[in-house]
Amino acid sequence: MSDAPTTRLEPVEVEARLDYDSALRKVMGLADFERSTHSPGHSAFHIERMSLLMERLGNCHLDIPTVHVAGTKGKGSTAAMVTSILTAEGYTVGLYTSPHLHSAVERIRVGLTPVAKGSFASLVEQVWPDVEWVGKEGGLGAVTTFEMLTAMAFLHFKQVGADFQVMEVGLGGRLDSTNIVTPAVSIITSISLDHVATLGGTLELIAREKAGIIKPGAPVVVAPQRDEAMAVFREVAAEKSAPLISVADNMSWEKGEANLDGQTFAVEGAHGRYELATRLLGDTQIENASTAVAAIESLVDSGFAVSDESVVRGVRDVRWPARLETLSREAPVLVVDGAHNPYSMKRLVESVRQYFDFDRVFVVFGALGGHSGRGMLAELAALGPTIIPVRSRHPRSAPSALMAAVASDLGLRVVGETASVAHGTRRALELAGDGDLVLGTGSLSVAAEVIEEIRGIEPELYPYIKRPADTGAMSAV
């Protein structure tokens, strides 16, 4: 555009004039569908608006080879593994994920290291004039929080000279803000029913939204899926002449030893066999690692150099918290996991049984609106748990009284209720004995707040984002 400002692509050498808290207020003060109880129709999402914003920033997102990751379960872990492998090879790798656990800076990383708060503020300062211009002059509505963070990530990765950028989809795929990239490889991890109010109420509808990241001619790696979802991915890939790499058909794996320190396993791929180890627990992480390896092999086929040793080292070194993470091995054992839908909760229950011996289970449980709290509690019932219902600080969190009623209706034992995850965690630890297990789950926000309570992490609060009335909370049932 003729009136576009000079594109700012050089790293900022001076401290931003805007302090971090002020920068955060600007970003979080935009429309934030992620933290809102409002579930917008797809008309609220504008790829055109995101494209216009990036045009103002010189289309820097197109300058870096991209690994684009969508899915319901495991997309964050898979993105982290791909990032860790490429970093082990010596590449500078940008990683963009959501949501964050404790601080917004976690969303934009180089390698697995979050951007510094000063750099975050500088990025806000650089991008803000274009955000305002698009909102006032673009004719496509105001830029959202997620769109601005995505633009900041793209700009940061350009400024640090990233060799790759690994971009995790925020919601769905087809209309997600990240879906303006031309990927070197796309990845679709395991999908299940989630965000049904926005993405649709059937697996096929959700698969079509996720399949929106498949680009003409660009390879797509697809993790094991149910037949109806896989049929959609094959159909869309064929329509776009995109080579489809099915992990179920092209990769195999063997489980080795597993304990609370991690697990070993072997993955057989198109390029050979990899003897791997990771600190991430659960069979789902073996599946995620196999998916990540398939994506790396696709990059190698495209001419990028990645050694087998880097694959081994990258999987070994990856860290991704709140995924079946043991916070304390002292009695009682304390574990957190960000499972947030019935399918992921079922897999969590399987993993808990695999890794832990216990007499009783006390579950610090809270759900977000738009997720099936009833479905998750029904899966947890297999553990015979005592439920301590909580409400996290997340604006979309369901009232603890509602979750208590649902748990009681399912025949589960309920002990009190609290609006504080910290209080619920302390209560669970008081009730649990030497042979018992305390599990914090139901959403990443619950897992994050349990971690903050146990490790003394100062939470990042957003008092200017108000929790709406509870009228929409029944969507968590």
Domain extents in the chain? 20-317, 325-476
Q: Helices in 59-138 by DSSP H: which ranges?
A: 75-88, 117-137
Question: Sign of the C-alpha dihedral, residues 464, 470, 475, 476?
Answer: positive
Domain 325-476 top-level CATH class: alpha beta
Q: What is the pLDDT of residue 419?
A: 78
Helix axes 117-137, 145-159, angle to 10 degrees: 120
Q: Output the six-digit token pair for 86.
A: 């490429």
* pTM (predicted TM-score): 0.92
Considering only CA atoms, which of 71, 444, 46, 372 is closest in space to residue 201? 372
Could you give the residue ranges of the DSSP H alpha helices within 14-115? Answer: 20-28, 47-56, 75-88
Q: 20-317, what's its fold?
A: UDP-N-acetylmuramoyl-L-alanine:D-glutamate ligase (3.40.1190)
Identify the pLDDT of residue 43: 42
The strand pair at 66-70 and 185-188 is best described as: parallel
Buried b (16+ CB within 10 A) or exposed e, 48-61: ebbbbbbbbbbebb
Give the phi and the psi of residue 288 in degrees, each rounded to 5: -65, -40
Predicted local distance difference test score (pLDDT) of residue 475: 53
Give the C-alpha separation, 404 to 409, whole Å: 9
Instruction: Tell me the pLDDT of the chain (477 aa) as tens digits.
Output: 334 333 444 444 445 689 999 999 999 999 766 654 444 444 445 799 999 999 999 999 999 999 999 999 899 999 999 999 999 999 999 999 999 999 999 999 999 999 999 999 999 999 999 999 999 999 999 999 999 999 999 999 999 999 999 999 998 789 999 999 999 999 999 997 654 444 446 889 999 999 999 999 999 999 999 999 999 999 999 999 999 999 999 999 999 999 999 999 999 999 999 999 999 999 999 999 999 999 999 999 999 999 999 999 999 999 999 999 999 998 899 999 999 999 899 999 999 999 999 999 999 999 998 678 999 999 999 999 999 999 999 988 999 999 999 999 999 999 988 879 999 999 999 999 999 999 999 999 999 999 999 999 998 998 877 655 554 444 556
Query: 């995850």: which residue's tokens?
Result: 421
Lookup: tokens for 242? 């995109």
454-to-358, 365, 403, 421 alpha-carbon distances in Å: 21, 16, 23, 11
Is 396 within 8 Å of 368 (Cβ atoms)? yes
pLDDT of residue 369: 81
Burial zone of 41 (CB within 10 Å; 0-12 exposed, 13-18 middle, 19+ buried)? exposed
